[in-house]
Amino acid sequence: MAVNTMRADRQEPAAIAVQHLLEKAADCWPESPSVSFAGKTYSWRETRQRCRTIACALVQMGVSPGDRVAYLGFNSHWCFELFFAAPMAGAIVVPVNFRLSVRELIECIEDAAPTVLLVDEHHRQQAEAISAAFSDIRFIYAGSAATAPAGMAVYDVLARDVSFSRPLAPSGNDDILLLCYTGGTTGRSKGVMLTHINQFTNAMGGLASYDMRERETHLMTGPMFHTAAASRVFTASMTGTHTVIMSHFDVLELMKLVQRYRINTMQLVPTTLQMMFDHPALGDFDLSSLRLITYGAAPMPVALLERALKLLPGTSFAQSYGMTEASPVVTVLDARDHSLEPARLARLESVGRAVFHNQVRIVDDARRVLPAGQVGEVAVKGSNVMKGYWRAPELTRDVLQDGWYYTGDSGYLDEDGYLFLAGRIKDMIVSGGENVYPIEVENALSRHPGVAECAVIGVPHEKWGESVHAVIRLFEPGSHSEDEIIDYCRGQIAHYKCPTAVSFFEEPLPVSSVNKILKSKIKKMLFEKGG
């Protein structure tokens, strides 16, 4: 398939282009800090200059408009800069998941076919395997010149020495800006084509939905190969935000950075927030600068919110729901809805309302719109929705129709437009002819004061087809029995939805690269343990 990655006529400057955001930030806040990483801080003026020279270096290395430039490494200022430098050269950024196996990395690189690959010091071995498989890729080393592999260009040397004299053909508008690969949980990963308009729309929506403020300091905690973190780079350029980057998540390092840089905002998921509150050194750090914590991946249990409001009394919370294909934010449950008032507690089980730049509706199997309260598939429409899947027109047609993206998530909208998720359609449990949605059961379990973490899965059942199985980590191991947990659930939800069995884990439940609980791994662990 020939993919149209660039505008047919490149003579006119793009109306919407992320490099314009960088130019504006450097003009408005030239000496303000833009990014800090590993103790080094750059101003917006310095960041603009470095991005310009790297763009010229990419052109010198043979990068043409529409070519791909990939990054394989932990979070860093090099990755932050590449999100602006590559489109300055008209190229598409491909942030690669560093957690992939070598085989999966080679599959990803084969699909994206980058002209240039940036690699950090921690992934030299993977780069050698990629180099052996693809002899035509040019490499740039994101690290110290003293440790650079022989024959590999060094990023910081290029940023310092390349002359800013090359003619550039920047991309913009509906050109592809990012090629982000999904996790591949149902097979080989898919490349999601996100345009300048997609990311601009998402960034604008974030300003309003999260109440982003000018020149605050944001802590980048999630991996930048995911759009949840990557999109914040562009939001930061709209507000002159100082982005402090963690190379990878570590709860103790997080608390140190919050205190050192007086962090105002950061992204977490409920599991990582729980990790912070459970850390024995929590009381050793001044976290009073935190104004806003945004989170996703799962609703926040009431017990966890109670702890959060007690331990961080000056901090607001906002939840977002989204996916790579939507750049990523679809709905937001804002700070006003994070209330412990009894009449409003039910809202905490929702993922909020659609952000202003998109529409959300619920459809049945024939993709007909369902009324409020009925469970169906979540569909999204807006200028934040992807261009399609890279080199996969059939897959694109399956999920994109008439501007609507059909997410594969199930849920319902209430009368006020709040979206309540029921889980992935494929994760739905059919027990005795009844549909059971894991999230509904997990929400009930999470209200139990003794439950620290939980996950609900379907397991084969000779009579009912499937049965509901809960996996739980208690705050205090052994403090509650299986019967107590099941009885508690029966007081919360219909009996047919309640677990018929409970497995207790003493260690934290396994999580993905963005700290989502991995149900596939839990199933494997249970079967290996014999239940």
pLDDT score of 531 = 47
Provide φ and ψ at 452, rounded to 5°. -90, -45
Residues 24 and 157 in one domain: yes
H/E stretch holding 130: helix 124-133
Amino acid present at 40: K
Which CATH number fits the domain that encloses residue 481? 3.30.300.30
Residues 417 and 445 in one domain: no
pLDDT score of 13 = 63
In a domain, 224, yes or no: no
How would you classify the pairing of strands 217-220 and 242-245?
parallel
Which CATH number fits the domain that encloses residue 404? 3.40.50.12780
In a domain, 223, yes or no: no
Sign of CA dihedral 495, 501, 506, 510: negative
pLDDT score of 528 = 64
CB-neighbour burial class of residue 38 (10 A; exposed 0-12, middle 13-18, buried 19+): exposed
Residues 396 and 489 in one domain: no
Residues 153 and 272 in one domain: no
In a domain, 401, yes or no: yes
Q: In this structure, are residues 383 and 357 in contact, taking their beta carbons and an 8 Å threshold?
A: yes
Residues 390 and 433 in one domain: no
- Range(s) of the domain holding residue 263: 249-425
Q: Following DSSP, what letter does each residue of 401-462 receive, concatenated?
A: ETTEEEEEEEEEE-TT--EEEEEEGGG-EEETTEEE-HHHHHHHHHTSTTEEEEEEEEEEET
pLDDT score of 462 = 74
H/E stretch holding 43: strand 40-43
Q: 70 in helix, strand or coil?
A: strand
| pLDDT by 10-residue block (mean), the chain, 531 residues | 43 81 98 97 98 96 97 98 98 93 89 98 95 96 93 94 83 98 64 98 93 96 94 97 96 98 94 91 97 86 88 95 95 93 88 95 96 96 97 95 94 96 78 78 90 91 84 95 94 87 94 79 77 47
Cα separation, 317 vs 375, whole angstroms: 27
Q: End of a domain among 194, 209, 237?
A: 194
User: Residues with Cβ < 8 Å from 109, sequence gap 6 or more?
Assistant: 70, 96, 117, 130, 133, 134, 137
Calculate Rg over the CA atoms of the chain.
23
pLDDT score of 1 = 36
Residues 435 and 449 in one domain: yes
pLDDT score of 440 = 80
Residues 393 and 442 in one domain: no
Q: Write down the pTM of the prediction.
A: 0.84
User: Residues with Cβ < 8 Å from 285, sequence gap 6 or more?
Assistant: 255, 256, 258, 259
- Number of residues that this document lists for the chain: 531
Q: 277 in helix, strand or coil?
A: helix
In a domain, 254, yes or no: yes
Q: Write down the residue that tokens 């909208």 correspond to.
A: 413
In a domain, 201, yes or no: no
Q: End of a domain among 367, 398, 425?
A: 425
In a domain, 503, yes or no: yes
In a domain, 130, yes or no: yes
Provide φ and ψ at 517, rounded to 5°. -65, 130
pLDDT score of 514 = 67
Residues 167 and 186 in one domain: yes
Residues 482 and 516 in one domain: yes
Q: End of a domain among 425, 458, 476?
A: 425
Sign of CA dihedral 384, 388, 394, 395: negative
In a domain, 220, yes or no: no
Residues 141 and 92 in one domain: yes
Residues 41 and 169 in one domain: yes
Q: In this structure, are residues 378 and 407 in contact, taking their beta carbons and an 8 Å threshold?
A: yes
Residues 491 and 390 in one domain: no
Number of domains forming the structure of the chain: 3
